[in-house]
């Protein structure tokens, strides 16, 4: 359980909140690059950390993320005309560049300097990999750009999707470090999902449904090791890294691409789940890429033209009780992503953690909450930069490995859980 005030501290990310200020220390995924596919394309509404903005790509290919509303009369710039290196409000023609600087106010005299004094709040928007990243904190403290491996490998080795999840970011994130639900909720997927099936590790997963956990502190977050019995004298370990505040990876299976997530707050009752798959040493095959586009693995099948999953709360997640009876799915909901989302959304927009009954197996979640709280308060009270800002912290990998029983996963896997460009992932 968590006290009400701590639950509020961890789940509120708007401007001026402790956790909101902490999130504003990091580069965060703001949108997929595919959302702004070409110069002068239509602008896109973006809401992050309870701030409404509009993103656009100008005539020179520069990305901008600015306050959604025109400084003149407050009309939404989503209706703006993206033309001539700026975004023009169609109401009275005020025009802004990618920094939010007003560059034209047609009603003013030709030589007027009025527009120089008008600037919308804006944030940088930078493309790394398939993602456009933003930093919403103090410009004077802008950290180095992120260096997550999924966004650093060549384009043919990586794929990222996103989906809208209708609950607080913390609920979604906590699923990302909760290894013990896999054996139950995702058991159908281990047998049939094209991006999961066939790995030797799946057999260990299914044979031993009661994993043991070791939770190890790192400079940037945690490693959560889940171990199950393997052959005589050995354990099968699945190691999940968490980089603060909201990056998690899933331990790999066989030679399948490695996957993971960013859980980005939209507001306090909604978040984006960015889901990626990449392979450190080879291109994704056409079959793998198609499976991701089709919503397999950690991805979702979305309503065309949107990032809303086709199975969502408005259609009861297309629950299929017959498929559940047949053993095709454990919960009746199809797809790994929506199996998680359906249960996390069912808790309500912000779950009341004062009502929980946690068990020792939830220690990863307990420790993560503690680290988030401590970091948010240290930033608020003493100005301490939180873990996970330093790109060195981003260079982590998940791993799956069989080890002799006496070995500590941390000792045995130091190299395996560190990014080594050109080196294959450690997997079973």
Q: Which residues bind other proteins (CB under 8 A)?
A: 1-2, 166, 212-217, 313-317, 342, 345-346, 348-349, 352, 355-363, 366-367, 369-370, 374, 405-406, 408, 410
Of the pair 221, 257, the CB lying nearest other proteins is at 221
CB of 215 to other proteins, least distance (A): 5
Of the pair 287, 346, the CB lying nearest other proteins is at 346
Question: How do beta strands 212-217 and 221-229 pair?
Answer: antiparallel
* Residue 414: alpha-carbon gap to chain centroid: 24
CB of 5 to other proteins, least distance (A): 13
Of the pair 206, 410, the CB lying nearest other proteins is at 410
Phi and psi at residue 247, to the nearest 5°? -110, 125
Q: What single-letter DSSP state applies at residue 362?
A: G
Of the pair 102, 368, the CB lying nearest other proteins is at 368
Given a contact cutoff of 8 angstroms between Cβ atoms, the answer to whether 66 and 95 are in contact is: no
CA geometry: angle at 396 spanning 183 and 232, to 5°? 45
**Nearest by Cα to 208 from 178, 233, 184, 241:** 184
CB of 333 to other proteins, least distance (A): 10
Phi and psi at residue 67, to the nearest 5°? -45, 135
CB of 420 to other proteins, least distance (A): 23
Of the pair 323, 347, the CB lying nearest other proteins is at 347
The tokens of 32 are what? 């997929």
CB of 366 to other proteins, least distance (A): 5
Q: Which residues are 119's β-sheet partners?
A: 101
CB of 102 to other proteins, least distance (A): 39
Task: Report the sign of the C-alpha dihedral through residues 386, 391, 395, 398, in that order.
Answer: positive
Of the pair 374, 424, the CB lying nearest other proteins is at 374
Of the pair 305, 404, the CB lying nearest other proteins is at 404
Of the pair 2, 244, the CB lying nearest other proteins is at 2
CA torsion angle for 396, 401, 405, 409 (degrees, to 10)?
0
**Which are the contacts of 261, defined by CB distance < 8 A and separation ≥ 6?**
176, 247, 248, 249, 250, 273, 274, 275, 276, 298
CA 342/CA 85 separation, integer angstroms = 42
Q: What single-letter DSSP state applies at residue 388?
A: T
CB of 326 to other proteins, least distance (A): 22
Question: What's the N-to-C CA distance of the chain in angstroms?
Answer: 35
- Indicate the helix (H) or strand (E) that contains 266: strand 258-267
Of the pair 132, 396, the CB lying nearest other proteins is at 396
CB of 171 to other proteins, least distance (A): 11
CB of 129 to other proteins, least distance (A): 32
Q: Which residues are 340's β-sheet partners?
A: none
CA 179/CA 208 separation, integer angstroms = 13
CB of 83 to other proteins, least distance (A): 40
How far apart, in Å, are the Cα atoms of 23 and each of 150, 177, 202, 336? Answer: 21, 19, 35, 27
Of the pair 125, 372, the CB lying nearest other proteins is at 372
Task: Report the sign of the C-alpha dihedral through residues 406, 408, 409, 414, in that order.
Answer: negative
């Amino acid at each position: 359980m968590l006290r009400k005030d701590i639950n509020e501290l961890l789940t509120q990310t708007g401007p001026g909140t402790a956790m909101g200020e902490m999130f504003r220390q990091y580069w965060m995924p703001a949108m997929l690059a595919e959302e702004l596919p070409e110069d002068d394309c239509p602008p896109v509404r973006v809401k992050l950390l309870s701030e409404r903005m509009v993103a656009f790509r100008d005539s020179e290919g520069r990305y901008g993320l600015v306050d959604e509303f025109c400084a003149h009369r407050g009309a939404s710039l989503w209706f703006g005309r993206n033309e001539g290196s700026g975004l023009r409000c169609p109401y009275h023609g005020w025009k802004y560049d990618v920094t939010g600087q007003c560059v034209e106010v047609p009603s003013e005299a030709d030589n007027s300097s009025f527009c120089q004094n008008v600037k919308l709040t804006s944030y940088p928007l930078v493309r790394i990999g398939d993602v456009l990243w933003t930093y919403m904190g103090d410009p004077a403290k802008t950290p180095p750009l992120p260096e997550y491996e999924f966004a650093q490998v060549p384009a043919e080795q990586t794929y990222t999707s996103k989906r809208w999840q209708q609950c607080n970011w913390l609920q979604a994130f906590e699923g990302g470090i909760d290894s013990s639900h896999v054996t139950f909720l995702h058991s159908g997927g281990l047998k049939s999902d094209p991006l999961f099936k066939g790995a030797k590790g799946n057999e260990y997963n299914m044979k031993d449904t009661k994993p043991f956990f070791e939770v190890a502190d790192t400079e940037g977050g945690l490693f959560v090791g889940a171990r199950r019995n393997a052959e005589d004298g050995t354990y099968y370990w699945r190691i999940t890294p968490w980089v603060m505040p909201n990056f998690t990876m899933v331990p790999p299976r066989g030679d399948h691409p490695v996957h993971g997530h960013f859980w980005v707050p939209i507001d306090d009752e909604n978040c984006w789940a960015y889901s990626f798959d990449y392979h450190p040493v080879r291109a994704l095959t056409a079959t793998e890429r198609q499976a991701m586009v089709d919503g397999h693995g950690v991805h979702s099948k979305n309503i065309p033209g949107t990032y809303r999953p086709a199975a969502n709360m408005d259609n009861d997640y297309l629950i299929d009780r017959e498929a559940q009876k047949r053993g095709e799915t454990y919960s009746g909901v199809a797809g790994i992503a929506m199996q998680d989302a359906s249960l996390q959304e069912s808790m309500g927009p912000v779950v009341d953690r004062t009502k929980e009954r946690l068990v020792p197996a939830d220690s990863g979640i307990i420790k993560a909450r503690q680290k988030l709280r401590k970091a948010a308060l240290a930033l608020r009270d003493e100005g301490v930069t939180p873990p996970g800002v330093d790109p060195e912290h981003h260079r982590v990998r998940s791993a799956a490995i069989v080890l002799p029983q006496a070995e500590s996963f941390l000792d045995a896997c130091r190299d395996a859980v560190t990014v080594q460009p050109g080196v294959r992932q450690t997997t079973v």
